[in-house]
């Protein structure tokens, strides 16, 4: 195993990492005891910590160790013009042309079919296992894909993820190809999700539908429930949140600081702060309409939350869990050792595969109740 130091990382050999770790006596657990000077930032106590060694843990699978041993790549600077935003955003035409063959191969590999379909004018992909158990024939997962509001449903962040979910759970999965930045800030994405929700529940009992979202899709799943409540619509039977990246668009949660530079190259500052502001479309970043963590969780369906100890959005997921508990909702939180944000959809990792088995069990236990 290797280790890396700080944000501008140097990959260390196993021997050197072991020597340094033993000499420093694992600085990370002792941060609270360090004699660094305490400073004040905006009137609040804060602590400056030294560069520290973060070894790749021996407590996780070799597959995850290899992921964690990779040095983080350079952080992308935030775009300054709409043209620069469009240059990094996903081009739906090019993705559609490239994705069809790949999706067909994946579908064959995992025993599912993938069919594009319009629902209330919104593009969707319907992913159906070739063998569906009788108890699951009237059950559906509505998937709100990850991708940072700039990557769409046709690629690995959407339909490829859904193919694997359908294979693991045995349910039909509907992937909402919601509109993206930079041309479509709030409320376009959630408007599309709500349109599909209204379409789906015309033919399927709401209690038989689970809404599952990862990263920004996790925040959207919460927003969908809160908006459905405000409009007097039925709620889904289950909600699944995989790393609630867009639950709080502000830099409030503790792990925005503690896991900055630990979760690969993920950082609130710079690129992602610019994404959140562009998405919010002029709204305050703590407005419940764009940051559902500040919304109403009373009456929420049973909710399963997943995060990891190296996830930049660990705190946001934990804070959502607390909101659900305080609201009296049935909820379960799984925190995976050392799992970073980008690995949440890597279902070939043993830890992730195990976690999704728990997701499937939770959905099966609560859907249709």
Q: How confident is the model at residue 88 (pLDDT cuts 50, 70, 90)?
A: confident
pLDDT at residue 37 greater than cutoff 50: no
Q: How confident is the model at residue 121 (pLDDT cuts 50, 70, 90)?
A: very high
Which CATH number applies to 83-366?
3.40.50.1820
CB atoms within 10 A of CB 83: 9
Q: Which residues pair with 128 in a beta bridge?
A: 113
Across the chain, what does the average pLDDT equal? 87
Answer yes or no: are the C-beta atoms of 162 and 177 closer than 8 Å.
Answer: no
Q: What is the gyration radius of the CA atoms in the chain, in angstroms?
A: 21
| Domain range summary for the chain, segments of one domain joined by + | 3-55, 83-366
CA gap 119, 115 in Å, rounded: 12
The mean pLDDT of 51-56, rounded to a whole number, is 91
- The tokens for 263 are 């979760």
pLDDT in tens, 95-113: 566 667 778 888 899 999 9
The mean pLDDT of 32-39, rounded to a whole number, is 37
> pTM higher than 0.85, yes or no?
yes
Burial 185-212 (b: 16+ CB within 10 A, else e): bbbbbbebbbbbbebbbeebeebbbbbb
Quick one: which of 226, 121, 237 has its CA closest to 179?
121
Question: Pairing mode, if any, of strands 238-242 and 53-55?
Answer: unpaired
pLDDT at residue 35 greater than cutoff 50: no
pLDDT at residue 153 greater than cutoff 90: no
pLDDT at residue 335 greater than cutoff 70: yes
CA gap 176, 153 in Å, rounded: 7
Which one has a higher pLDDT value, 52 or 213?
213
pLDDT in tens, 124-145: 999 999 999 999 999 999 999 9
The mean pLDDT of 285-306, rounded to a whole number, is 98
The mean pLDDT of 11-18, rounded to a whole number, is 40
pLDDT in tens, 201-244: 999 999 999 999 999 999 999 999 999 999 999 999 999 999 99
Q: CA of 36: how far to CAs of 32, 53, 214, 261, in Å? A: 10, 17, 37, 20
């Amino acid at each position: 195993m290797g280790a890396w130091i700080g944000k501008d990382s140097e990959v260390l050999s196993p021997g050197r990492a072991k020597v340094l770790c033993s000499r420093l006596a694992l600085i990370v657990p002792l941060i609270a005891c360090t004699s660094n000077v305490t400073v004040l930032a905006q009137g609040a106590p804060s602590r400056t910590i030294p560069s520290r060694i973060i070894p790749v843990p021996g407590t996780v699978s070799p597959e995850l160790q290899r992921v964690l041993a990779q040095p983080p790549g350079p952080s992308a600077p935030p775009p300054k013009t709409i043209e620069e935003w469009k240059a990094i955003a996903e081009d739906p035409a090019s993705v559609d042309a490239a994705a069809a063959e790949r999706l067909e191969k994946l579908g064959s590999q995992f025993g599912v079919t993938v069919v594009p379909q319009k629902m209330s004018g919104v593009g969707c992909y319907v992913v159906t296992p070739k063998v569906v158990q009788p108890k699951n024939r009237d059950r559906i997962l509505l998937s709100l894909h990850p991708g940072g509001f700039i990557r769409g449903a046709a690629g690995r962040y959407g339909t490829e993820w859904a193919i694997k979910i359908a294979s693991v759970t045995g349910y039909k999965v509907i992937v909402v190809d919601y509109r993206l930045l930079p041309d479509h800030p709030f409320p376009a994405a959630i408007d599309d999700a709500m349109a599909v929700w209204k379409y789906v529940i015309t033919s399927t009992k709401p209690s038989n539908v689970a809404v599952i979202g990862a990263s920004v899709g996790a925040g959207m799943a919460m927003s969908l429930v809160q908006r459905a409540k405000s409009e007097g619509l039925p709620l889904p039977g289950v909600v699944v949140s995989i790393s609630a990246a867009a639950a709080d668009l502000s830099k409030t949660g503790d792990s925005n600081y503690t896991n900055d530079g630990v979760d690969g190259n993920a950082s609130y500052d710079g690129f992602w702060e610019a994404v959140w502001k562009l998405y919010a479309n002029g709204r305050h970043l703590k407005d419940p309409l764009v940051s559902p963590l500040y919304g109403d969780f009373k009456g929420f369906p049973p909710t399963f939350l997943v995060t990891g100890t190296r996830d930049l959005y660990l705190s946001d997921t934990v804070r959502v869990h607390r909101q659900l508990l305080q609201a009296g909702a049935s909820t379960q939180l799984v925190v995976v050792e050392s799992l970073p944000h980008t690995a949440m959809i890597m279902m070939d990792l043993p830890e992730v595969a195990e976690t999704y088995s728990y997701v499937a069990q939770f959905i099966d236990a609560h859907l249709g109740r």
